[in-house]
């Protein structure tokens, strides 16, 4: 009887251990990694899986994705993996790759402190640090692959997972059992901070208000970018939720982080969808049908993709054509993709407590509504320029001065027609930067899309801007306006306007505008429009062989563009630049006392294949200098002014609106 009892106990012991070693065979790799750490990680089964993990790791430090590490490998499969060690193709952090393997090795090391686990973990960490862009983002694959794989990737929480790992390591929370050296810890902290900064910079600004994020952002411009054919630039209801949870988990958050969280939460509350649910039909554990049904009792839903302009949900098949309802796309994409999510609810549930802990000041008392401060760090009256404009009085009796602290303001700024007498005063031209990257094909509103691309659009009369830079950073992709001025009596001093084609648009028949001591750069027709404009003491810089001006002066308007005491410069590889060509056939452009580099072509002017324009345009020069001033070789239909004729081009005659304030004429500032 005693022998029988011992035999039974021994049998139970063997069966229990067999159970321990076999209990995870039918589970996915993700579930194995994320199970609660315990004695299982010291079993032979865990060791066998760990050997697979080490084999799959490449010399660069990362792992390929979608590998079920728990599946036993044959001898030939192991040999093939050894031969692949130096291969860098398909190494990624997408779908949890690399992060999952590092977590598994950490749990193994905690139970079995074998140096090979530690070495592999630290090698993975080195890989992650190396893969980070200078701007703080991470691509989907590293080394970089062509196409959307090089975008900054929030998709499937790739970058958020990286930042979570770095945060645990830098804070020494004990979540990871392996501790890097002090030198590496400093690199980890720097990488985390840069990553968070990238997150803040990529938060999308919609009509001057921070909203959410796209699943992927361009690595250079930081703007929303396209991935697969059905993953178009959009605001993400899924990935954005995890980004906000990450920001909410940061200790002692900065004002920028607080501002990002509050605005994102406001956006999530604004775009949530109620009264519907997604009904799924299954067969053999696979979804065979999805359809939207009315259900007032269902918890809120959020769309995976929403329009950048107005948050409208949209859906796509593999043809990339937007549809307004899920039912409009084919079964394969409809059933095989997560078009709706409830992930934001977790973040919203935590927000109230987070808000109490972080003392957010939603509104501030403005001491002087005619003299306000914009500062990105939250120390001013407003954190965005557009918010300050929204709050400005309509048709004020006195000037509204908006002082802008140094910083990069990634926003489209619109000074509306009722926002007259607005002054935007930057802290410095070099460091007060307003930037955006809309361009013709991106706007895609038809033949007039150019006029919707501006970074700064001014429609309020008596506008002033000083000491700031306005950029369109879309690059050489066609028409892309930095500054659009469609208002009268507008004054710009010590400002820079940078872009490529169509940098500065000066609009308004009969309107007067004045640029003093400004820098303007571009490629083709980068100063264009119909207004009367005086450019004085400005630098006009050409970035390609093309045309500087494209005036569209109305027939009965006495002055078009007048450049006085300006300097015309160019990139070193630029040698064939025209002073102008006529957008409309009565174009008027005059250069007086200007220094012209040798990039200016001897003929000077071009008729834009409009022979009739040679009779109707007025292109003229007087007393210019430099290698680019060759009056005897100019086209015969241009003019060289006499001294008497040049005297007509005074500031008063050109800008001669006699509207006076108590401080003098508008153009005397």
197 is catalytic: no
Is the distance from CB of 410 to CB of 256 less than 8 angstroms? no
Is the distance from CB of 325 to CB of 293 less than 8 angstroms? no
Number of other residues whose CB lies within 10 A of the CB of residue 645? 13
246 Cβ neighbours under 8 A, 6+ residues apart: 160, 163, 164, 167, 199
C-alpha 517/C-alpha 596 separation (Å) is: 16
Which among 338, 329, 661, 349 has a CA at the least distance from the CA of 491?
Answer: 661
C-alpha 171/C-alpha 180 separation (Å) is: 12
C-alpha 138/C-alpha 153 separation (Å) is: 6
Catalytic position from the list 502, 537, 573, 657? 502
Residue reference for tokens 């080490």: 54
Which among 669, 649, 468, 472 has a CA at the least distance from the CA of 561?
Answer: 649
Tokens of 9: 């106990």
611 Cβ neighbours under 8 A, 6+ residues apart: none
Catalytic position from the list 310, 525, 573, 657? 525
525 is catalytic: yes
Tokens of 162: 């990286």
C-alpha 55/C-alpha 10 separation (Å) is: 36
Query: Element (H or E) spanning 258, and its range?
Result: helix 255-271
**Counts of helices then strands in the chain (DSSP H, E):** 17, 40
Long-range CB contacts (within 8 A, 24+) of 44-48: 45/20, 45/21, 46/108, 46/111, 47/108, 47/112, 48/72
Distances (CA, A) of 608 to 151, 190, 303, 549, 617: 39, 53, 48, 12, 12
Is the distance from CB of 645 to CB of 622 less than 8 angstroms? yes
Pairing of strands 371-374, 400-404: parallel
Tokens of 196: 């968070």
The catalytic site residues sit at 502, 525
């Amino acid at each position: 009887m005693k022998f029988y009892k011992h035999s039974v106990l021994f049998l139970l012991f063997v069966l229990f251990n067999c159970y321990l070693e076999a209990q995870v065979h039918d589970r996915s790799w993700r579930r194995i990694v994320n199970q609660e750490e315990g004695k299982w990680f010291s079993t032979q089964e865990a060791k066998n899986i760990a050997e697979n993990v080490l084999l799959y790791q490449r010399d660069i430090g990362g792992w390929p994705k979608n590998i079920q590490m728990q599946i036993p490998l044959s001898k030939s499969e192991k040999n093939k993996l050894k031969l692949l060690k130096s291969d860098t193709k398909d190494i990624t952090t997408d779908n949890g790759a690399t992060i999952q393997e590092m977590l598994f090795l950490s749990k193994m090391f905690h139970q079995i402190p074998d140096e090979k686990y530690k070495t592999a973990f630290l090698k993975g960490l080195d890989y992650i640090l190396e893969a980070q862009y200078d701007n703080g983002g991470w691509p989907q694959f590293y080394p970089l692959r062509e196409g959307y794989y090089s975008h900054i990737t929030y998709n499937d929480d790739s970058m958020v997972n990286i930042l979570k790992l770095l945060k645990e390591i830098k804070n020494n929370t004990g979540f990871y059992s392996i501790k890097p050296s002090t030198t590496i810890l400093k690199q980890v902290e720097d990488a985390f901070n840069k990553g968070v900064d990238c997150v803040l910079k990529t938060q999308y600004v919609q009509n001057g208000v921070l909203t959410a994020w796209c699943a992927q952002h361009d690595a250079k411009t930081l703007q929303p970018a396209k991935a697969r054919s059905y993953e178009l630039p959009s605001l993400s209801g899924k990935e954005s939720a995890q980004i906000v949870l990450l920001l909410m988990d940061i200790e002692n958050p900065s004002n920028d982080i607080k501002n990002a969280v509050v605005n994102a939460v406001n956006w999530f509350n604004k775009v949530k969808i109620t009264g519907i649910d997604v009904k799924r039909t299954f067969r053999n554990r696979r979804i065979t049908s999805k359809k939207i049904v009315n259900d007032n009792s269902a918890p809120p839903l959020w769309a995976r993709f929403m329009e950048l302009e107005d948050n409208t949900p949209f859906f796509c098949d593999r043809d990339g054509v937007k549809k307004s309802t899920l039912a409009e796309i084919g079964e394969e994409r409809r059933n095989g993709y997560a078009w709706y999510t409830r992930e934001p609810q977790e973040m919203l549930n935590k927000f109230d407590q987070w808000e109490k802990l972080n003392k957010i000041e939603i509104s501030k008392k403005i001491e002087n509504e005619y003299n306000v401060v914009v500062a990105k760090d939250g120390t001013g009256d407003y954190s965005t320029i557009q918010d300050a404009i929204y709050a400005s009085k309509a048709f004020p009796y006195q000037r509204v001065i908006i002082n802008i602290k140094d910083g990069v303001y990634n926003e489209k700024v619109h000074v509306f027609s009722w926002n007259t007498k607005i002054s935007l005063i930057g802290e410095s031209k070099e460091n007060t930067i307003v930037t955006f990257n809309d361009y013709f094909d991106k706007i895609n509103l038809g033949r007039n899309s150019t006029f919707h691309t501006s970074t700064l659009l001014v429609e309020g009369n008596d506008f002033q801007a000083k000491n700031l830079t306005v950029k369109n950073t879309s690059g050489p992709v066609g028409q892309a306006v930095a500054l659009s001025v469609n208002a009268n009596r507008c004054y710009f001093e010590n400002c820079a306007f940078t872009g490529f084609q169509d940098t500065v648009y000066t609009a308004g028949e009969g309107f007067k505008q004045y640029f003093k001591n400004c820098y303007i750069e571009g490629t083709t027709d980068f100063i264009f429009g119909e207004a009367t404009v005086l450019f004085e003491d400005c630098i006009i810089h050409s970035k390609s062989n093309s045309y500087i001006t494209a005036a569209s002066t109305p027939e009965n308007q006495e002055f078009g563009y007048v450049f006085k005491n300006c300097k015309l410069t160019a990139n070193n590889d630029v040698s064939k630049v025209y002073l102008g060509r006529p957008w409309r056939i009565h174009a008027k452009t005059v250069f007086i006392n200007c220094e012209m580099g040798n990039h200016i072509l001897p003929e000077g002017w071009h008729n834009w294949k409009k022979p009739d324009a040679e009779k109707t345009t007025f292109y003229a020069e007087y007393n210019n200098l430099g290698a680019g001033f060759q009056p005897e070789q100019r086209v015969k239909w241009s003019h060289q002014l006499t001294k008497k004729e040049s005297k007509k081009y005074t500031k008063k005659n050109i800008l001669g609106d006699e509207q006076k304030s108590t401080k003098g004429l508008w153009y005397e500032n």
